[in-house]
Structure 1
């Protein structure tokens, strides 16, 4: 599996920004309860500037993700973008790789919620390549200042408070990207479509997903892909009321067809339009999907849709995370357009942090339809239809089926086990003990599974909370918590 190709990668140093006093002129009220669009807002339609290569004219803004109850406990100690996926990667790697492969090399990652592991991953994965100051992945950590005492209040608030950073380079467009989606997209095509249509905002919509419930709203688009109506449901983005706005400039004839498509939350916004919206027209708005986009449409901005028909997964729940991992197992020949093909694409590789791990060691292991990460130690076990993450230790006579073993951060030596056993009254090693059986489960990092343990959801429970015992059940999937200890002879 190719992780890094020195001949095609264009990366450089990462910087972490924690505070600044240069943004005092863009203060705003964090107590906004509803969308407010000033009637005196100036004309927002701004003609596109002279076109330049993407690595000079486009900056990507990647959002690390906030708290999400549906992903708990996977987000108990990490943000959504930092969740491990497909044995060797993090979710945010898919989005960063899309940027790099599309020649977008000015990448800002805005982080706040449980950001320690995400900041560490980004700084270690995408730094030190020395290709100049205008090619970078730069982390902007949430900060407070004398003017803004609170943390970021939402996606729009975060972007507004970081505009002074984004203005360092004279780009013409911003590409706003959620950091927890799994897909492969050529952003060059998206940017070209945005420029060709002379749109103020372009939103990526899903054309091949019929049953997707997007938390980023839905769009009514006409035959020219002009967005004529944008709707956010009450359950989306914490809204209490339905938000639905119609473009005041749209004029459709009776014979013009239209369709509703879900939004992915991926936006291309002109630099001047972004500044006007956040600093002049919607200075109190907190969220991009529920406030900025409806506000722009209601003010007469030209908003277009760019249709995407490839594989796309919004990893917003434990079930979605489980399905995404299971899809990564399937062979390319069986899943046309599936994300698994991305792992083996020499032209558009998936990048992640380079690691100096030994090859996985397997002793009489029987493995079918599975992915095994780097540095694993597998004894006489059976693994079917599963994802086994880095540094996983699996003992004799273990059977793992349709499961995700996230892996561990360290190799635990025998002397460490004996010492910890005396301190914590347990001698269960990190990994999976002998004669254990695991079926349709997620075992998070550094978990200690004893011998002869049955993790099989014996009672077919759909939802259950046993955090005190080291596990929860979501959508019928058992999730063993990070650092949990499951005693010998336990049955779940």
Structure 2
């Protein structure tokens, strides 16, 4: 093994509203059967990185439950493993992380007790498939101090990302974090490779100066002192930063090309297994281009939608362009369009919940409508 992994799963995004009131962003359900963090953990494991720290602090109960057994991602081996670090595990005087660099620094013993020469730092909020072994090899070939995985967003709005400027040799010249007027469309994907000893040194230096942010206090501050290179990624990538991004990521799973890339080609994306009976399609049910999960009972129409486990759809109910999470009940004759229902919501008979692509309706967990 050449590297250890660190998954940053801080997990508080106000832009996700009701969906993160009671859960960490990394634990948000996606694609019918997965959680967001499954993609980071699977990518690390598939890349041969079998020692991984997950660092989190907000609403960690659901995240803790999901990763309680590391065997699903292949981490349960001798001298390897999956470790969850939260602030309250450090000391009684520490109640939160002050930034991404501080989150890693407060768990620096994990790095000091490791022997691997490199560290791969990733986000727990991204839906993608990446080969980190290729990223490490590129890092070595470039003799880089830090390598950033980048993507050209081809004219998309990049004001909510770190915009990277690279020279002809892909060395980073500049980095603007969430600029008001971006000067390019190449963005950082929040995936980094750095030498383990260098990272420890930088974290200790930052701590002595009361600096706590990985992007502003390491990448931007040291951009001329360190050799920082970009590694271009051209595959599917979506970060769950707000409601529209969450909705788009789930709808993307209905695209055959995206589904084939993420799930139907090796290496595979893994998740914690749930033992549910097969979905049941009763008379008069009608399904079109949708994801239906184990334990679902369908009596109505489901089109262009993602249904998680144990969803009941009543007779003559219609669901279109919607995301229905685990354990929801949709009453007879109800109509749902452009809607996100969190877990265990009851929609009574004849209700009409109609949103638009620009204004998705979101209902919090255990609502009765």
Instruction: Classify the TM-score, shorter chain.
Output: over 0.9
Task: Verify: 1:350 aligned to 2:269, yes or no.
Answer: yes
- Is contact 1:125-1:352 (8 Å) kept? no
Q: Which residue in 2 is equivalent to 1:273?
A: 198
Aligned 8 A contact 1:142 1:151 in 2: yes
CA distance change for structure 1 residues 126 and 141 in 2, over 3 Å: closer, same or farther? farther
1:138 is paired with a residue whose SS is: strand
User: How does the TM-score come out when normalised to structure 1?
Assistant: 0.71
Instruction: Give the whole-Å Cα distance in 2 for the aligned partners of 1:125 and 1:452.
Output: 44
**SS class of match (2:221):** helix
* Partner of residue 370, structure 1: 290
* 1:70 CA drift (Å): 1.1
What are the residue-to-residue correspondences of 1:104-143 with 2, within 5 Å?
A: 104-124=49-69, 126=71, 132-143=77-88
Q: Distance in 2 between the 1:107 and 1:145 partners? A: 18
Deviations 1:235-263 (A, max 9, x none): 7xxxxxx9x9xxxxxxxxxxxxx976211
Q: How far did 1:331 drift?
A: 1.4
> What is the SS of the residue equivalent to 1:354?
coil
CA contact (8 A) 1:125 1:354 kept: no
**Partner residue, 1:391:** 310
What is the CA RMSD across the aligned residues, in angstroms?
Answer: 2.3
CA contact (8 A) 1:94 1:181 kept: yes
CA contact (8 A) 1:444 1:480 kept: yes
Cα distance in structure 2, aligned partners of 1:216 and 1:158? 20
Counterpart of 1:437? 335
CA contact (8 A) 1:173 1:271 kept: yes
Q: How does 1:79-90 map to 2 (within 5 A)?
A: 79-90=24-35
Going from structure 1 to structure 2, the CA distance change for 1:189 and 1:328 (only over 3 Å counts) comes to same
Q: Distance in 2 between matches of 1:314 and 1:186?
A: 17
The alpha-carbon deviation at position 320 of structure 1 amounts to 0.6
Cα distance in 1 for residues equivalent to 2:52 and 2:202: 21
Query: Max radius of gyration: which structure?
Result: 1
For 1:112 and 1:147, the matched residues in 2 are separated by 14
State the shift of 1:208 in Å.
Answer: 4.7
Q: What count of residue pairs does the alignment treat as equivalent?
A: 367
Evaluate the alpha carbon distance shift between residue 316 and residue 146 of structure 1 in structure 2; reply closer, same or farther with a 3 A threshold: closer
1:359 maps onto 2:285 in alignment: no
Match of 1:10 in 2: none
Partner residue of 1:483? Answer: 366
Which residues in structure 2 correspond to 1:398-413 (within 5 Å)?
398-408=317-327
How far apart in 2 are the matches of 1:61 and 1:313?
Answer: 19
Query: CA 1:88–1:128 in structure 2 vs 1: closer, same or farther (change >3 Å)?
Result: closer
- Unaligned stretches of 5+ residues in structure 1: 1-55, 236-241, 245-257, 333-337, 409-429, 463-474, 487-492
Cα pair 2:50 2:75 within 8 Å, conserved: no
The CA distance in 1 between the partners of 2:229 and 2:74, in whole Å, is 37
Q: Secondary structure at the match of 1:275?
A: helix
1:307 and 2:232 correspond: yes
Deviation at 1:357, TM superposition (A): 1.0
Inter-partner Cα distance in structure 2 for 1:359 and 1:403: 21
Mapped contact 1:213–1:262 kept (Cα < 8 A): yes
The CA deviation at 1:94 is 1.0
Q: Give me the whole-angstrom Cα distance separating, in 2, the residues matched to 1:330 and 1:297.
A: 39
Q: 1:384 to 1:151 in 2, by over 3 A?
A: same
Deviations 1:404-440 (A, max 9, x none): 11122xxxxxxxxxxxxxxxxxxxxx51111100001
**Residues of 2 paired with 1:116 and 1:91: CA distance?**
15
The TM-score, its normalising length taken from structure 2, stands at: 0.93
CA positional deviation for 1:101: 1.3
In the alignment, which residue of structure 1 is the partner of 2:11?
66
Q: 1:151 to 1:197 in 2, by over 3 A?
A: same
Contact 1:359 1:376 in 2 (8 A): yes
